[in-house]
Amino acid sequence: MATVVEPTEAVFEELTPTLTRAQAIIEADRCLECGGPYAVAPCVVSCPADVDVPGFLAAIAAGEPEAAARIVYAENLLGGTCARVCPVELLCEGACILHHEGRRPVEIGRLQRFACDAALSTGSSLRKRAPYNWLRVAVIGAGPAGLACAGELAALGYGVTVYDERLEPGGLVRYAIAPYRLQRDPLPAEARVLAELGVSFELGIAIDTPEALAEIEGDADTVVLAIGMGADADVRYPGDDLPGVWDSLPFIESIKTGHAPHIGDAVAVIGGGNTAVDVAREAVRLGAERVTMLYRRTREEMPAYPHEVDEAEDEGVRLEWLTVPVRFVGGVRLQAVECRRARLGEPDESGRRRPEEVPGTEFLLPVNTVVKAIGQRPRTEFLEFIEGLELDRGVIKVDPATGRTSNPRYFAAGDACNGGATVVEAVRQAKLVARAVHAAHDEGWR
Nearest to 263 by CA among 371, 372, 374, 373: 371
d(CA 191, CA 168): 10
Which of 97, 329, 389, 421 is close enough to bind ligand FAD by CB under 6 A? 421
Question: CA separation (Å) from 31 to 65, 153, 163, 405, 418?
Answer: 15, 33, 41, 41, 33
Q: Which residue number, 9 or 89, has a Cβ lying nearer to ligand FAD?
A: 89
Ordered DSSP codes for 164-228: ESSSSS-THHHHTS-TTT-SSTTHHHHHHHHHHHT-EEEES----SHHHHHHHHHH-SEEEE---
Ordered DSSP codes for 242-288: STTEEEHHHHHHHHHTT-EEP--SEEEEE-SSHHHHHHHHHHHHTT-
Q: Which residue number, 58 or 249, has a Cβ lying nearer to ligand SF4?
A: 58
Instruction: Decide if residue 58 touches ligand FAD (CB under 6 A).
Output: no
Which of 426, 432, 436, 437 is close enough to bind ligand FAD by CB under 6 A? 426
| Beta carbon of residue 33, minimum distance to ligand FAD (angstroms, whole number) | 26
Which of 9, 50, 64, 165 is close enough to bind ligand FAD by CB under 6 A? 165
* The entry of ligand SF4, ligand FAD, none that residue 143 binds, CB within 5 to 8 Å by partner kind: ligand FAD
Q: Which residue number, 315 or 348, has a Cβ lying nearer to ligand FAD?
A: 315
Instruction: Decide if residue 308 touches ligand FAD (CB under 6 A).
Output: no
Residue type, 208: D
Helices 187-197 and 144-155 pack at an angle, to 10 degrees, of 30
| 292 three-class SS | strand
Instruction: Decide if residue 412 touches ligand FAD (CB under 6 A).
Output: no
Looking at residue 131, the DSSP 8-state letter turns out to be P
Q: Which residue number, 208 or 301, has a Cβ lying nearer to ligand FAD?
A: 208
Which of 95, 108, 173, 319 is close enough to bind ligand FAD by CB under 6 A? 173
Q: Which residues pair with 320 in a beta bridge?
A: 294
| 323 three-class SS | strand
Instruction: Decide if residue 171 touches ligand FAD (CB under 6 A).
Output: yes
Neighbour count for residue 446 (Cβ, 10 Å): 9
Q: What share of residues in the chain are helix, strand, coil (percent, to 5)?
A: 35, 20, 45
Q: Which residues bind ligand SF4 (CB under 6 A)?
A: 31-34, 41-43, 53-54, 57, 96-98, 106, 108
Q: Which residue number, 208 or 362, has a Cβ lying nearer to ligand FAD?
A: 208
* The entry of ligand SF4, ligand FAD, none that residue 227 binds, CB within 5 to 8 Å by partner kind: ligand FAD
d(CA 109, CA 97): 15
Neighbour count for residue 389 (Cβ, 10 Å): 17
| Beta carbon of residue 426, minimum distance to ligand FAD (angstroms, whole number) | 4
Residue type, 57: L
* The entry of ligand FAD, ligand SF4, none that residue 165 binds, CB within 5 to 8 Å by partner kind: ligand FAD
Q: Which stretch binds ligand FAD (CB under 6 A): 56-64, 166-174, 288-296, 384-392?
A: 166-174
* Interface characters, 273-302, with ligand FAD (x: CB under 6 A): -xx--x------------------------
* The entry of ligand FAD, ligand SF4, none that residue 414 binds, CB within 5 to 8 Å by partner kind: ligand FAD
Instruction: Decide if residue 140 touches ligand FAD (CB under 6 A).
Output: yes
* Interface characters, 335-364, with ligand FAD (x: CB under 6 A): ------------------------------
Taking the CA atoms of 225, 165, 162 and 429 in sequence, report the sign of the dihedral they define.
negative
Instruction: Decide if residue 52 touches ligand FAD (CB under 6 A).
Output: no
Q: Which residues pair with 353 in a beta bridge?
A: 347
Instruction: Decide if residue 116 touches ligand FAD (CB under 6 A).
Output: no
Residues that bind ligand FAD (CB under 6 A): 85-86, 140-146, 163-166, 171-173, 176-177, 181, 206-208, 226-228, 252, 274-275, 278, 379, 382, 414-416, 420-424, 426
